[in-house]
Structure 1
Amino acid sequence: MVRRAAFAALVMSVVIVVTGGAVRLTASGLGCTTWPRCTGDSLTPTPEMGFHGIVEFTNRMLTYVLSAAVGWAILAARCHRPWRRGLTKLGWAQFWLVMSNAVLGGITVLTGLNPYTVALHMIAAMALVWVALLMWERSKEGDGPSKLAVARPIHQLSYVLVTVIGLLVAAGTLVTGAGHHPGTPKDNKIVPRIPIDYDRLAQFHADFAMVSVGMAIAAIFVFAAVKAPQPARARAKELLAILLLQGVLGFVQYFTDAPELMVGLHMLLAALTWIAALRIPLALRTREDDASAAPLPVQAPQAASV
């Protein structure tokens, strides 16, 4: 039950990344003109707001679906016997990330889609993906202390790889902030953009992608050399495959003037790349059941004294 609930929360955390991107790509970022209401007088979009209002409001409503999935994960962890205290904390961490990101989304609307708040909105969504993934992976393990399955420098290498992938995602948000899709119709000139040349930011992003590919290849060879656990080696190969696919998509996207469908797929793959990277260090350690939490043995009843 806990594993299914944690997986549902993880899936919804990825869905909210994609639907948030759809809001921007359909130029519906200001479909609802204010927050937390859709207009100053209405909680829901009015007919005059048309398609853009429906898209923005639908994304807001999906936050409740996400919250329900997170709530299920919290209850499942809390009701598990024995109580999974660590998983419950991860569930609550997801809840507060959802709430804070909802507020950040409101700030994004109230500031007229400021590109820096849009970037923070995306990074906060990726933080939610991180915690949701951690809860799902931990739900398949015990609650005992973790033990490294490789030498510590190898484990640290995996964290360097995660850091590089995180910087790659952050660089992508900067490209978005200076790119072709500000989140409103193209004739709307009031939405601010990051005042850095788009081509330079795109090249900076591509450079990070090259470094990421190189790090993934290095991890594959290092894991093979030290005979790392098979799951870790498989996950490193998965990360490389997603990075290569993402790189091809990124280049095609750049030279075709960033069509909306390709950008949306690029965002989905960004979330999957982040997940693939985060799963690698988790495969380089083991976590058994906590002996201190084991139930006490049942003692045979004592004979009553006469």
Structure 2
Amino acid sequence: MERVLNPFSLLAERWQPSAAMVRRATFAALVMSVVIVVTGGAVRLTASGLGCTTWPQCTDDSLTPTAEMGFHGVVEFTNRMLTYVLSAAIGWAILAARCHRPWRRSLTKLGWAQFWLVMSNAVLGGITVLTGLNPYTVALHMIAAMALVWVALLMWERSKEGDGPAKLAVARPIHQLSYVLVTVIGLLVAAGTLVTGAGHHPGTPQDNKIVPRIPIDYDRLAQFHADFAMISVGLAIAVLFVFAAVKAPQPAKARAKELLAVLLLQGVLGFIQYFTDAPELMVGLHMLLAAITWIAALRIPLALRVREVEETPADTPAPRTPETATV
């Protein structure tokens, strides 16, 4: 019975990237997932959220911004175009993972998960524009971007491991504690989106009163966010002591220290931001650190288990097995 070859399998027969290239490709996708978080924040901080007045076109009559739309139109449209750069980085990761020998389906699945997250978040971004920057859709847009960061990080970390079953390096309750920490950090990030929804930067010029805001007092939301940050710092410190007591793997201890350092820096920046009426540069840095904090938290449970790398001779050709028309 003849094989049914699709473009991916045809390419895989002619190009087999190294494991190092796969790791570089997955890391590039991770970097771009963080970049898109920061540039999305830049759109809001420059009051360019409605620089393009509709979606998927920029205006009713033009795919690109017109001269009359000025700076705001350029900023919003540039952010939209960066989605294609992000997609290209993810596409490279998918192709590198698919063509590497041996083919690891787990990696290509994570790559395709990133692709569909980008597509769904692009639609969500369009809904955000069409609803006039509704703060709840803006918050969902940010959370979906963080979900993309999560999957991109997982693909990068898995590219450095094998496909064997995960084996815990600590007792299960300790591993579960690390997931509690990840959950708390995730809730901290989500709380930050609520502060944004009631805060100083609606995404349009300040004299635009049309953009809705979350109808909760900004100071109360900021205090709630700060309280959650204190809880996160306390839990991170507790995790450090627990890891030391149970002699957790050194990489896990190092990652827990990194998370605590980023949390403290983020806390200082947040307080400065609050008492200086949230200047744009401070808010932008706060968003960048939010993505880095999320990454730092996610890396901790990944350091508490190992996956064996399957030994495959470099010069052994891949088995020629039947393939279907899908990846």
TM-score (norm 2): 0.89
1:119 aligns with 2:136: no
> How many Å apart are 1:84 and its aligned residue?
1.2
Are the aligned partners of 1:209 and 1:247 in contact in 2 as well (CA < 8 Å)? yes
Q: Which amino acid aligns with 2:178?
A: S
The corresponding residue for 2:49 is 29
* CA shift digits 1:241-287 (9 cap, x unpaired): 00000000000000000000000000000000000000000000000
Cα distance in 2 for partners of 1:288, 1:211 equals 35
Q: Which amino acid aligns with 2:191?
A: A
The corresponding residue for 1:62 is 82
The corresponding residue for 1:96 is 116
Cα distance in 1 for partners of 2:100, 2:110 equals 14
1:48 aligns with 2:68: yes
Cα distance in 1 for partners of 2:313, 2:232 equals 42
Cα distance in 2 for partners of 1:127, 1:134 equals 11
The corresponding residue for 2:172 is 152
The corresponding residue for 1:163 is 183
Cα distance in 2 for partners of 1:227, 1:139 equals 26
Equivalent pairs counted in the alignment come to 297
Cα distance in 1 for partners of 2:209, 2:53 equals 16
> How many Å apart are 1:45 and its aligned residue?
0.2
TM-score (norm 1): 0.95
Moved over 2 A (4+): none
5+ residue gaps, structure 1, are 299-306
Q: Secondary structure at the match of 1:288?
A: coil
RMSD (Å), alpha carbons: 1.4
Q: Which amino acid aligns with 1:133?
A: L
Which one of the candidate residues 80, 97, 112 is aligned to 1:77? 97
Which one of the candidate residues 253, 261, 278 is aligned to 1:233? 253
Cα distance in 2 for partners of 1:145, 1:110 equals 45
Cα distance in 2 for partners of 1:141, 1:49 equals 49
Q: Which amino acid aligns with 1:169?
A: V
The 5-angstrom pairing of residues 203-282 of structure 1 reads 203-282=223-302
Q: Secondary structure at the match of 2:306?
A: strand
Q: Which amino acid aligns with 1:200?
A: R
Q: Secondary structure at the match of 2:167?
A: strand
Cα distance in 1 for partners of 2:35, 2:239 equals 29
Are the aligned partners of 1:175 and 1:205 in contact in 2 as well (CA < 8 Å)? yes
* CA shift digits 1:97-129 (9 cap, x unpaired): 000000000000000000000000000000000
> How many Å apart are 1:290 and its aligned residue?
4.3
Q: Which amino acid aligns with 2:120?
A: S
Q: Which amino acid aligns with 1:244?
A: L
Are the aligned partners of 1:145 and 1:290 in contact in 2 as well (CA < 8 Å)? no
* CA shift digits 1:146-173 (9 cap, x unpaired): 1000000000000000000000000000
The corresponding residue for 1:106 is 126
Give the share of equivalent positions with the same residue, in percent: 91
Which one of the candidate residues 147, 159, 167 is aligned to 1:139? 159
Q: 1:151 to 1:294 in 2, by over 3 A?
A: farther
5+ residue gaps, structure 2, are 1-20, 318-327
Q: Secondary structure at the match of 1:182?
A: coil
* CA shift digits 1:57-105 (9 cap, x unpaired): 0000000000000000000000000001100000000000000000000
